[in-house]
Amino acid sequence: MTEARETITEGTAVAHNDMANAIRALAMDAVQAAKSGHPGMPMGMADVATVLFREALRFDAADPNWPNRDRFVLSAGHGSMLLYSLLYLTGYPGMEVGELKRFRQLGAKTAGHPEHGHAAGIETTTGPLGQGIANAVGMALAERLLNTRLGDDIIDHHTYVIAGDGCLMEGISHEAISLAGHLGLGKLIVLFDDNGISIDGPTSLTVTDDQVARFKASGWNAVAIDGHDPAAISAALAHARADSSKPWLIACKTTIGYGAPTKAGKASTHGEPLGEEEIKGTREKLVWPHAPFEIPEPVLLAWRAVGQRGAKERANWKQRAAQAGPHVDAALSNPAAAGKIADVAKAITTAKAAFAIDEAKRATRVWSQLALEKIVPVLPELIGGSADLTGSNGTRTKDHVPVGRGSFAGNYIHYGVREHGMAAAMNGIALSGGLIPYGGTFLVFTDYCRPSIRLSALMRQRVIYVMTHDSIGLGEDGPTHQPIEHLAALRAIPHLLVMRPAEGLETAECWEIALKHDANPSVLALSRQAVENLRKEASAENLSAKGAYVLSEPEGGRDVTLIGTGTELALAVEAAKALAGEGIRAAVVSMPSMELFRAQPESYRTKVLGDKPRVAVEAGIAQPWFEWLGTNGRFVGLSDFGGSAPAPQLYKHFGLTAAAVADAARSLVKK
Amino acid sequence: MTEARETITEGTAVAHNDMANAIRALAMDAVQAAKSGHPGMPMGMADVATVLFREALRFDAADPNWPNRDRFVLSAGHGSMLLYSLLYLTGYPGMEVGELKRFRQLGAKTAGHPEHGHAAGIETTTGPLGQGIANAVGMALAERLLNTRLGDDIIDHHTYVIAGDGCLMEGISHEAISLAGHLGLGKLIVLFDDNGISIDGPTSLTVTDDQVARFKASGWNAVAIDGHDPAAISAALAHARADSSKPWLIACKTTIGYGAPTKAGKASTHGEPLGEEEIKGTREKLVWPHAPFEIPEPVLLAWRAVGQRGAKERANWKQRAAQAGPHVDAALSNPAAAGKIADVAKAITTAKAAFAIDEAKRATRVWSQLALEKIVPVLPELIGGSADLTGSNGTRTKDHVPVGRGSFAGNYIHYGVREHGMAAAMNGIALSGGLIPYGGTFLVFTDYCRPSIRLSALMRQRVIYVMTHDSIGLGEDGPTHQPIEHLAALRAIPHLLVMRPAEGLETAECWEIALKHDANPSVLALSRQAVENLRKEASAENLSAKGAYVLSEPEGGRDVTLIGTGTELALAVEAAKALAGEGIRAAVVSMPSMELFRAQPESYRTKVLGDKPRVAVEAGIAQPWFEWLGTNGRFVGLSDFGGSAPAPQLYKHFGLTAAAVADAARSLVKK
């Protein structure tokens, strides 16, 4: 470790070391002030980040949302002080030094891990390891899609990632790397912080992967460099930028906690403050005599100059974009804001009209596909896909063109058997702006991508999960493929809209809801098995939008309310008919979305659910239903894993029948 | 594709082709009879499987549970007919031809995907892709652990896996491969069905990984062979068995649906019946003129001879094991049955006695570690570990010795940042028999390993998940690290015991429960922040075992019942004290496990919950609580993601306070 380097990089007279040490000092001081945090990574990667920001990254701190900026993703999100330091030093709006001083405090922009939306310049929320690199694959893919649509003059940027050992140990990294290599996303550059340390100690305890060889095996270019040698970093970045044939891994050998006199290179710098003594020693070792949070003016000015490096390029871009015409703005803005949703509404109306007179029994996954046939032509922003279940999910329509290596004019992604990578890539696509991603797999496999679904919700991104085969109704594939607890588990995630339409018209309505909600991800839970349309009239109103509504109200008032979702709504309808024959008046309520219903005024909820006993039916566990059953309500559902058999036999075997619903109703209705 | 090969392998006079074709015929006929299923993979891998079972696999069909058998894991579980055919052909008990005819029918042993426990010889439940290969890593690890404990004479076997493209695209495969390579599990041999086809079409649509290079990069030996050349398969297996320096990948180039005249090599053979015409053509092409499900006697006899190939070796083993002494039986049997749990009970009693007089405030993760200090010495079957959060999870005790490459005498696994791989490996360890695995990470990262947790529950395996930092009480790391919905999501999984102890004594009790339940996985949700012991007496009874109990009953009967779990139980206690000052008599109920409480008789539940209004408090969402709140109950909890700040501030900010609990109680108590 030499502290005496004096490499001067172009453009400023301030030494590289001083600029990198500014990051190191801010990181260790902020962590110390917060009494918690991760100083080691920012100190180790300060050299890499300094060269990246000074020389490579195209950005203008004054306009964090410039569509053609390079993206910078800190996948190793625990090193958040690296990002916050850079945002402050380069002058991002709102990132004052006070925010660094309030690191990890309530209400600060500087949360423990970078939270998208808390501060300008945080491209994505990271912390759960491996998510950032997989988001970046989505961003790099979105870049190619928009590049093809808008041309090199408008969209043509790189996506940079800093990833750590943890990111590369997580399984999601494989899905991300493999997909990026397959698609040849050559403008994706991953800087691996190869510091040889994880929380439990040296990484030799747990991992011996040859990362360079691993990335090459997945179709990447890969090199290893000294992550403390600015010239080597500079050369590697220049080389990677010049060769976009494949994505790049630059493995940067670094020392965690670089500069700390006794702790550098040790796990103890990873996740806790260095301590006053060690910080004092670090100041001495780095020749950084300045007070905590104090950046000498020349250094700060040099950094601010870096923040303005892209200003002229951005101005030129603005001009080009304006000249190119209004389609550019439209393509890069929120499709909801751009009025595109009005076209979607028309498409949905058309679909509902067609469905209302369609007497065929179809699975809701098929109704979904038919709805998409209407939506896709009017919403080119929509990027479809599936994790290798295209035909089963009904995610591809006749207007879809698949995307492939060197061929980004399409609007459909074959994500492969990579549910987690797909979901994280969709987050990246949504974050890129201007595009709406949806992707399919079986509902049971939401488990495989749950960490990314959670981040869709936490970041309030419009990502649409088309989750088919939503119950034991998938039949013979058996318990491993049958969701039982998944509706409950998904409904548990804040801000996620879980919609389980019962038939064709509801399915079209749920698509409209998913597309309109630009600050919520949605799950569409769709059936494998065919259902009849229960609504024969194409109401102008989107009935599903209130979450639940009265499908049928008996004359003379109700004795009991039967509530159903999805394919089980038909059981409620059938039970109501049987009960009517016995003089029991049952109202039937369809509840495609608990979240939307919960958001209604109490008066509406009371009106729909009524004041009579309630019976709910759903091919899932009871947990989410106690909220709606009222006093003495009954639930007809499941409490154990499914079985392997044809669907009708399973429904009978598990007691999910109209007769069971009717029995439950009878038991509740006072004679 | 040549159909005319006549390779004769040693030991029988029946041609390899006839034996392989028996598998092909059974697979296509069973799928046709079921009208659903996956014929392509069994037909493609029939040659590989035939050579494996005839020459390599050490097994005796008459004793499917022989501890020193080689393990065979069908990671590509959709090809279940490959496994069922082999079990039938080699004569596993209970696998009659009638079971093949009932493939995918209600109650058959032959579910759509292999279900552990349905039939002898199904080593693990597979279907969710990538799980099998990761289970196998756990099995191969368990083999090394038991080998070191019991010697080569007793445990020294291989673990074979058949994995498909899907398995190797899933992220979990990376975690598994990387861990196996790191540990040098040289007796693990993966046969990759490299058929170039996935559901959406040719794999060239989605993946271009060089699998041989990829595995080598993670420390494996790897070769590629023609998967239809018996001599090549034989040679590769022999070579791999002879060289246990590293795990082996044998990439077998195969044709999916091999033998089908028009569909072979196409995605259409993957997941649907071939159809009568194609089956007729296949019979002709394979020169297999026999009726469906009919195996000519010489072929069946040859296969049955394969099934008995290991009989003598097993008999010798039995003798060796008996001579070695009773410790062998004890080490290889269910630790609960072996009476080891009695020693655990004593250890727990000791721990509780010590905790009851310990006045320190400690996090429940620390109480857990202190309990483990007592348990680990008396239960060598316990294999601890953590996904790189050892210090945070408190999973390692002073009696732990870490396991590493070539060094398997230990009892602690540094799993690395591989939550999913850890959980699946733990399933494999539990399935191996004789060992009890536990592993730690943060509760929020149960999302990362949820598919494997589900399989622990579906397979009823005793796997213990030590999930710390179980609420916003983790503080500054912020929303990405704070579980909000995770207790609800985990409680949704059937057969999973979710336990959230409130203090030291409960923590010790929950460990006892987790260890005793040998047919349930458990989650221990443990706090980062310190709590006081609320129970000062070390009751002989395990109070937590009933799921909930009355911690304090006011004199003269209760006006309200306050229910809490984990660190929020203290809020209920504090609220009860405040209410007592106002003359409101509040009982406090601790509910460490809803599953255990639900299993109690109604009389007990009624007694505990009482007939007065109820208030529950938990740092999570309301969904699981409606079940317990009764009429007009109130819940004090969370409905949104957390924040980044010191824990006490977050509790206050989100209204999780004793004052809020008391307020809720006041609002419910009639004056």
If DSSP codes are grouped into helix, strand and coil, which group holds residue A385?
A: strand
Residues from chain A contacting residue B650 (CB–CB below 8 Å): 106
**Domain coordinates in residue numbering, chain A:** 16-317, 338-525, 546-670
Residue of chain A whose Cα is closest to the Cα of B390: A200
Q: What percent of chain A has pLDDT over 90?
A: 95
Is A528 a known ligand-binding residue? yes
Residues of A (531-570) whose Cβ lies below 8 Å from B: none
Domain A16-317: CATH architecture, name and number where available: 3-Layer(aba) Sandwich (3.40)
* Phi-psi sector, B648: left (phi>0), alpha (psi -120 to 50), beta: alpha
> Strand pairing of A71-74 and B412-414?
unpaired
* B334 Cβ under 8 Å from any chain A Cβ: no
Residue A642, pLDDT above cutoff 60: yes
> Strand pairing of A436-442 and A221-226?
unpaired
Q: Check residue B333 and give its pLDDT.
A: 86
pLDDT digits (tens, 9 = 90+) for A532-568: 999 988 889 999 999 999 999 999 999 999 999 999 9
* B460 Cβ under 8 Å from any chain A Cβ: no
- Can you tell me which residue has the tokens 């660094």? A100
Q: Check residue A8 and give its pLDDT.
A: 39
d(CA B410, CA B302): 43
Mean pLDDT on B318-344: 88
Residue B251, pLDDT above cutoff 80: yes
Is A314 a known ligand-binding residue? no
Does domain A546-670 bear CATH number 1.10.357.10? no
Residue B2, pLDDT above cutoff 50: no
Which of B171, B386, B626 faces A174 most closely, judged by CB atoms? Answer: B171
For residue B294, what is the DSSP state? -
Residues from chain A contacting residue B268 (CB–CB below 8 Å): none
> Is the pTM here over 0.80, yes or no?
yes
Residues facing residue A412 across a β-bridge? A384, A402
CA A59 from chain centre, in angstroms, equals 23
* B200 Cβ under 8 Å from any chain A Cβ: yes
**Min distance B278 CA to chain A CA atoms (Å):** 22
Burial label for A281, CB within 10 Å (0-12, 13-18, 19+), is middle
d(CA A665, CA B480): 43
Name A86's Cβ contacts closer than 8 Å, sequence gap at least 6.
Answer: A23, A49, A53
Judged by CB atoms closer than 8 Å, whether chains meet at A417 and B36 is answered as no
- Sign of the C-alpha dihedral, residues A497, B498, A167, B172? negative
Mean pLDDT on A368-383: 97
Q: Are A488 and B488 in contact (CB under 8 A)?
A: yes
Q: Regarding predicted confidence, which is higher, B4 or B234?
A: B234
**Min distance B475 CA to chain A CA atoms (Å):** 9
Interface probe for B, chosen from A207, A442, A486 (most Cβ of B below 10 Å), is: A207
If DSSP codes are grouped into helix, strand and coil, which group holds residue A80?
A: helix
Residue of chain A whose Cα is closest to the Cα of B199: A388
Which of A175, A210, A389 faces B169 most closely, judged by CB atoms? Answer: A175
* A481 Cβ under 8 Å from any chain B Cβ: yes
* B218 Cβ under 8 Å from any chain A Cβ: yes
Residues of B (44-83) whose Cβ lies below 8 Å from A: 77
Report the half-sphere exposure of A607 (CA within 13 A, side-chain side).
11
The DSSP string of B513-526 is HHHH-TT--EEEE-
Is A437 a known ligand-binding residue? no
d(CA B457, CA B450): 11
CA A117 vs CA A123, B485, B504: distances in Å:
8, 22, 40
Name B466's Cβ contacts closer than 8 Å, sequence gap at least 6.
Answer: B365, B368, B386, B393, B394, B395, B438, B439, B440, B524, B526
ipTM above 0.90, yes or no: yes
Interface probe for A, chosen from B169, B407, B461, B618 (most Cβ of A below 10 Å), is: B169
Q: Which amino acid is at A123?
A: E
CA B609 from chain centre, in angstroms, equals 34
d(CA A319, CA A326): 12
Residues from chain B contacting residue A488 (CB–CB below 8 Å): 488-489, 492, 623
d(CA A281, CA A158): 38
Q: Check residue A1 and give its pLDDT.
A: 36
Residue A5, pLDDT above cutoff 50: no
CA B257 vs CA A561, B7, B333: distances in Å:
51, 21, 41
Interface probe for B, chosen from A78, A211, A417, A482 (most Cβ of B below 10 Å), is: A417
Which of A172, A402, A623 faces B171 most closely, judged by CB atoms? Answer: A172
Q: Check residue A338 and give its pLDDT.
A: 61
d(CA A317, CA B381): 65
Judged by CB atoms closer than 8 Å, whether chains meet at A639 and B418 is answered as no
Residue A457, pLDDT above cutoff 50: yes
* A477 Cβ under 8 Å from any chain B Cβ: yes
**Token pair recorded at residue A141:** 């893919």
CA A489 vs CA A49, A484, A548, B522, B538: distances in Å:
39, 10, 20, 17, 36
State yes or no: is B419 an active-site residue: yes
Nearest to B332 by CA among B158, B154, B185, B159: B154
* B435 Cβ under 8 Å from any chain A Cβ: no
For residue A52, what is the DSSP state? I
Q: Are A440 and A426 in contact (CB under 8 A)?
A: no
Residues of A (634-663) whose Cβ lies below 8 Å from B: 639-641, 643-646, 649-650, 653
Q: Check residue A13 and give its pLDDT.
A: 77
d(CA B198, CA B343): 51
Residue of chain A whose Cα is closest to the Cα of B484: A493
Alpha helices in B58-118 (DSSP H): 80-90, 97-101
**Token pair recorded at residue A292:** 């905590």
The answer to whether A338-525 and A546-670 have equal CATH topology is yes
Which of B127, B208, B391 faces A182 most closely, judged by CB atoms? Answer: B208
- The CATH class, in words, for A338-525 is alpha beta
CA B542 vs CA B197, B200, B296, B511, B539: distances in Å:
54, 53, 60, 11, 7
Residue B242, pLDDT above cutoff 70: yes
Judged by CB atoms closer than 8 Å, whether chains meet at B644 and A451 is answered as no
Q: What is the mean pLDDT of chain A?
A: 96
* B342 Cβ under 8 Å from any chain A Cβ: no
Q: Check residue A501 and give its pLDDT.
A: 98
Mean pLDDT on A368-378: 97
CA B271 vs CA A391, A468, A645, A647: distances in Å:
11, 16, 16, 17
Residues of B (118-137) whose Cβ lies below 8 Å from A: 125-129
Is B69 a known ligand-binding residue? no
Name B499's Cβ contacts closer than 8 Å, sequence gap at least 6.
Answer: B510, B513, B514, B522, B523, B524, B525, B544, B592, B593, B596
Q: Are B113 and A478 in contact (CB under 8 A)?
A: yes
Judged by CB atoms closer than 8 Å, whether chains meet at A476 and B104 is answered as yes
* A493 Cβ under 8 Å from any chain B Cβ: yes
d(CA B432, CA B428): 6
Provide the pLDDT confidence category of residue A12 given band limits of 50, 70 and 90.
low
pLDDT digits (tens, 9 = 90+) for B506-556: 999 999 999 999 999 999 999 999 999 999 888 899 999 999 999 999 999
**Min distance B531 CA to chain A CA atoms (Å):** 20
Interface probe for B, chosen from A99, A168, A170 (most Cβ of B below 10 Å), is: A170
Q: What percent of chain A has pLDDT over 70?
A: 98
Helix %, strand %, coil % of chain A (to 5): 45, 15, 40
Q: Regarding predicted confidence, which is higher, B49 or A632?
A: B49
d(CA B175, CA B416): 9
Catalytic one among B99, B419, B512, B568? B419
Nearest to B17 by CA among B291, B264, B286: B286
